[in-house]
Structures are given as C-alpha cells and as structure tokens.
A = this chain, B = another copy of it.
C-alpha cells in the first residue's frame, strides 16, 4: 500500500510542477472542451486523477491555436515504448518466447546445434534454466532462429505464431494483452493530430507484424531493434533476406539515436515504463515548447504484475524501473502512472462474453 500511496502523492507534485512549466496555464485544470472527441468518451478506462488530467490538458494546450503552447500538426510526434508500456512484458518478452519456440525447428534443420549451449538448455524445456539464460545467449538464439529468412517468410511465420500462441497466465493471445487505457491514449493522440510511434527495444520486424492491427500503428511508425537485410535474387526474383548484422540496438541511449535515424524530429510526447526508456524521455524533455513525459509503474500484482524496484517493488530482470529513475521523474516533472490507482480497466474486454 505504501508504494501506491507514494506513487499517487508523487503524481500530484509531479503534475503541478509540469503544469508550472507550461506557459499561460492556470493552476486549475480546464474543463474538457476543445478536444477532438466528445468529453466523457475520452480515456474512459482512466480514473479521474492527475495522470489523466495531465494527458488531456496537454492535448488541449498543444492543439488550441490561440494558446502559446500550440504545436503545429507536423511537429506532433508521440513515442511509446511497447513492452510493459503498451502490452504485458512478464514473465518473458513475447518475442523471446517466439524465438525459444522456434528452436526445435531450427535444430531440425541444423542437428549439430542439438548438444550445443544455449540450444541444449532450450530443448530441455527446463523453464528455470531458460530463465537464467544471459542476454548474450538469447541474442545467439535470436540470430540462429531468424537469420537467412526472407522478410516475407519472417512476416508470415511470426503472424501465424501470434495467432495461436497464448500467455500462460491468462490463456489469451499476446495481442489481446494490450493495455486498454493505452489504446485510448493512442486514439486520443491520433484524433488530435499526433502521429503515434512505437519506439521499442524489441525487434522492429516482429512488432511491425501486428502493430497496425493491434494498435493502429503502421509499420513505418514502428522503430525498434533492427538487423540488416541483404538484397539478392532467386530465379531472377528479388529477395530481402534477414542478416545477423545489428544495425540499431533500440534501447536506452539507442532510443533517441533510433528516433533521430527513423523519425528525424524530436517527439513532444513520450511514454515508457523502465530504465530502457530513460534517455528517450530525457531527449523528449530537452526540446522546447510543451512536453509530456510519462512512466507506467507496474504496481498491480492482482490485475497484472508488480515489479520495480521503484517504490520498493520487487526487482526483476525484465522492465527494471529503479528508484533512481523514479527520483529523476519526480525531479523533472515527469508523470508516474500507477497502474493500480490510475486505471479502472487493464485489458480490453474479451470477445467471448466480456470480463
């Protein structure tokens, strides 16, 4: 309970300091006028509170041409981390699950890998041993499972896998375990002329397979960790084949670098949930004019997960949100969203019978 109360009392201070940085805003929040959606229909899964108010007030402040905080439409760039910000990242990144599940097929084609680590561990099915695999070993598996496929083969296979794979806790497809409140934020941003981008440490090609259907974000607005491809021909027909070469490691400092490479302008809105998003929020924050930076705190073990270790939440290898990042957010006026307090729904209703 302590951490949630702290999160919410911090939110209040953070919001007030954010509002203070927006010129020509009164300290009282304005009513819901001027938004491109009817009031009441905007962000229904968000509880009334400082996070929701900050989002709505930012949209009003940047889209009303009579206000000094107005942002011209072409500059309205909003970036969103994916894992842990738009969908569930625990107990394991979905793309890692995908790669691990491809290992048997890879080993069938290359039997010499069967007795070689880390493939041996993966084939053993021992979940505890698999959870101990290092980042380097996971990258080795990633390279082995994806290299040499044509980009079309990759897309078709990943799509097929996503249609049947299910999250072990909810027994629902991963693509349904997206955060309903964030879908509403994406829609509100787009309805008000913002271009929404995913900026993810995950694989760019993987996220592009479903981002358009799941989030309404087209492939060209997905920036992620990207490997090279190689152009060549097969029977005179051109192919692009995935290569093991890493072009962009889109995590931590790689996020602003990736934003510069792929977007070429500084965002004015950034949502994240972990230390991997710190530099992206700093880069967004350092621009001029109205800015909005938010971090989602996973403090809801009952409805999703609670991990941190900000505010004393348990540490975890995935989605680390340190107390130091929490303090930076507080100091800089970034909003910390408490999943437990700020959201009245976590996931979209199931298609069969609701929740």
Residues of B within 8 A of A218 (CB): 74, 265
Residues of B within 8 A of A222 (CB): 264
Report the bound CA distance from A265 to B219 in whole Å.
7
Q: Determine the distance from Cα of A204 to Cα of B264 in the docked complex, in whole angstroms.
A: 9
- Given A237-B286, A257-B230, A286-B238, residue A220 in contact with residue B279 (CB < 8 A): no
Q: A32 at interface (Cβ–Cβ under 8 A)? A: no
Query: How many subunits of this chain does the assembly comprise?
Result: 2
Asked if A183 lies at the interface with its beta carbon under 8 angstroms from chain B, I say no
Among candidates B248, B256, B265, residue contacting A220 with C-beta atoms closer than 8 Å: B265
Scan residues 177-209 of chain A and give those whose CB is less than 8 A from a CB of chain B: 195, 204-205, 208
How many A residues face the partner with a CB closer than 8 A? 36
A212 interface hit (Cβ, 8 Å):
yes
In the bound complex, what is the Cα–Cα distance between A257 and B208 (angstroms)? 16
> How distant is the Cα of A331 from the Cα of B240 in the complex, in angstroms?
23
In the assembled complex, how far is the CB of residue A257 from the closest CB belonging to chain B, in whole angstroms?
A: 5
Are B264 and A240 in contact, CB atoms less than 8 angstroms apart?
A: no
Would A231 and B261 count as touching, CB distance under 8 A? no
Q: What are 24 sample pairs from A and B whose C-beta atoms fall under 8 A apart?
A: A74-B212, A151-B260, A195-B220, A204-B261, A219-B263, A219-B264, A219-B265, A220-B263, A220-B265, A222-B264, A226-B261, A228-B257, A229-B260, A230-B253, A231-B253, A231-B283, A237-B286, A238-B256, A238-B279, A238-B286, A240-B257, A240-B260, A247-B248, A247-B261
